[in-house]
Amino acid sequence: MSSTAPPRGSPSPVGLAVSPEVEAALACGGAVVALESTIICHGMPYPKNLQTAMEVEAIVRENGAVPATIAILDGVPHVGLNSEQLERLAISGRQFQKTARRDIAQVVASGGNGATTVSATMFFAHKVGIPIFVTGGIGGVHRHGEKTMDISSDLTELGRTPVAVVSAGVKSILDIARTLEYLETQGVTVVAYRTNEFPAFFTEISGCKVQCRVDSSEECAKIIYANKNMHLASGILIAVPIPKQHAASGNVIESAIQQALKEADDKKIIGNAITPFILDRVKVLTGGSSLEANIALVKNNALTGAKIAVALSDLRKRASDGKMILNFC
């Protein structure tokens, strides 16, 4: 398979199954939004996961774009799933292997089933020419990462794959400041949507400022368009704060995270043991309320991502018609 995205309207890369809806939209330069499948299989229980997946796809469609949920089914990467395939993912849950870029070859070669993470979803989205991907949050540099070297592959994927990722930032369970530093090292443009501060997933603020602020989907589209035209070959992270109406519950969750972090420090829990410990403690401390806040921000990201995809599609069409000159700023 080629490492570059196919030109608009060309056949899908060998070994990939692209749904007719997605293929038709890409062929005519329409707006398409990639969606991951790990959140379905590993992020929430059945049937809530199926309901959420269908609602997220509906939000994308209602705002003028085509959803393309990505997963590996029986060794074949699929870009765009039908309702039966979505249901299969939701029911199977953790039976589907959590699949990052490093796992793709093994899952495909074994004829296995894979729920794609951020890095794998970006990889397949770029293969078929989808420029925008919506998720909940990305991974990052873990606390004490300078000692453990525990750094998510999401960050290196953003450094080498020109796909714009719409997320609610990263959870404060991670080292947000170091995550932003690592993204800078990777050459990734980090954009804060209608805010000057990088969001911390469950909360609107993190204490970390972002240099690039945008206030509209059209501004986001211009940055994505410029990134492609300048052949930067790196991704863009568009950080969208959790909706204000859910910020209160987010603050409760954030307080639980901070308490869990303190407990981990007091107990001297480090390395690979720290993340499971904190996640378990947060679940207990919040009574599981983090799920609803998670769903709310994913839906908000889908709304934002769809609008950006439509704006980008319109921008491309105007440019190809020779009716505009884009001023890079």
Q: Kindly report the backbone phi and psi dihedral angles of residue 41, in degrees, each rounded to the nearest multiple of 5, phi listed first.
A: -80, -35
Beta strands in 23-128 (DSSP E): 32-35, 66-73, 76-79, 97-99, 114-116
Tell me the residue length of the chain: 329
Note if 262 is an active site residue. Answer: no
User: Active site includes 222?
Assistant: no
Long-range contacts of 230-233 (CB under 8 A, 24+ apart): 230/328, 232/162, 232/187, 233/160, 233/162
* Residue 19 Cα to chain centre, angstroms: 20
Return the half-sphere exposure (C-beta side, CA atoms, 13 A cut-off) of residue 153. Answer: 13
DSSP 111-144: T--EEE-HHHHHHHHHHHT--EEE-S----BBTT
Burial call 57-79: b when 16+ CB within 10 Å, e when fewer: bebbeebebbbbbbbbbeeebbb
Cα–Cα distances in angstroms (integers) from residue 242 to residues 53, 123, 139, 198, 316, in the given order:
18, 26, 17, 11, 29
User: Residues 36, 57, 204, 254: which is the catalytic one?
Assistant: 36
**Cβ atoms of 46 and 93 closer than 8 Å:** yes
The amino acid at 268: K
Q: Which residue has the tokens 């919506």?
A: 134
Residue pair 1/13 in contact by the 8 Å Cβ criterion: yes
CA Rg value for the chain: 19
If one counts every other C-beta atom within 10 angstroms of the C-beta of residue 277, the result is 16
The catalytic residue among 23, 127, 157, 171 is 171
| Catalytic residue numbers, as ranges | 36, 171
